[in-house]
Amino acid sequence: MVNEKKTRSLFNERSYEFQIMNEIQRAKTISKILDQKYPTIKVPLKSRNVFTLLISVLLSAQCTDVNVNNVTKNIYSKYYKPKHFVKLGRRKIEKLIKKIGIFRIKAKSIYNLSKILIEKYNGKVPKTFEELENLPGVGHKTASVVMSQGFGYPAFAIDTHIHRLAQRWGLTNGKNVMQTEKDLKNLFPKKKWNKLHLQIIYYGREYCKARDCYGLTCKICSTCYPNRKKPIKTKKA
């Protein structure tokens, strides 16, 4: 007699394997399309060293990269080391970045983190996630961008845009950004993480915007989901 429990468990395993295989196939297809579309890719935030990269990423929270670059181009020509920002003091930093959203909070973080970098790290940006995430205003996403773009360490920085696209492309269950990071790291080879982070951001800006899903027209979804009939609705981050 067939053991029903065993059969059910085998079936569940198989359907899980099937699902995983599909995700892996989708990930490969997406990576191929992104490589064709964006063979080389520029880091969108302008900086002149790792410290200014850290500052730019911190400033980019809830603000566009273009806005950050417009503001920082007048700052980094003169101020580009922690000691420069400590010397400036909070009020002057606020004035310099006042065109950027939540500038008071960001100015406070910049001032305090610059002080810590001088006191604890000899004016250098530390090279570990733990040390970076202990700095004021620096979360896991900012630390990941600095580790990858500043130090070349493989990291997969997930912002709300990447989280949205990964959900829409069926690469994650969309629970939260931590889960998305875990899922994408499992699906893509480590050597591709840094580039993919930027490629997905660029694709999102060009085609897969927060408010709109074009449903059936984009290359990625028309290839991965040829039978899809309706636009996608995204769960919140």
> Residue 86 or 200: which CB sits closer to ligand SF4?
200
Report d(CA 181, CA 184) in Å as an integer.
5
> Residue 82 or 204: which CB sits closer to ligand SF4?
204
Residue 212 known to be catalytic: no
Catalytic residue among 106, 159, 183, 195: 159
Q: How far is the CB of 135 from ligand SF4 (least distance, A)?
A: 34
Contacts with ligand SF4, residue ranges (CB under 6 A): 168, 207-208, 213-215, 218, 220-221, 231-232
Q: How far is the CB of 142 from ligand SF4 (least distance, A)?
A: 25
Q: How far is the CB of 182 from ligand SF4 (least distance, A)?
A: 21
SS (H, E, C) the chain: CCCHHHHHHHHHHHHHHHHHHHHHHHHHHHHHHHHHHCCCCCCCCCCCCHHHHHHHHHHCCCCCHHHHHHHHCCCCCCCCCHHHHHHHHHHHHHHHCCCCCCHHHHHHHHHHHHHHHHHHHCCCCCCCHHHHHCCCCCCHHHHHHHHHHHCCCCCCCCCHHHHHHHHHCCCCCCCCHHHHHHHHHHHCCHHHHHHHHHHHHHHHHHCCCCCCCCCCCCHHHHHHCCCCCCCCCCCCC
Report d(CA 72, CA 88) in Å as an integer.
15
Residue 159 known to be catalytic: yes
Q: How far is the CB of 57 from ligand SF4 (least distance, A)?
A: 25
> Residue 106 or 168: which CB sits closer to ligand SF4?
168
Q: How far is the CB of 235 from ligand SF4 (least distance, A)?
A: 13
> Residue 24 or 33: which CB sits closer to ligand SF4?
33
- End-to-end C-alpha distance for the chain, whole angstroms: 48
Catalytic residue among 106, 141, 183, 195: 141
> Residue 41 or 232: which CB sits closer to ligand SF4?
232
Residues carrying an active site annotation: 141, 159
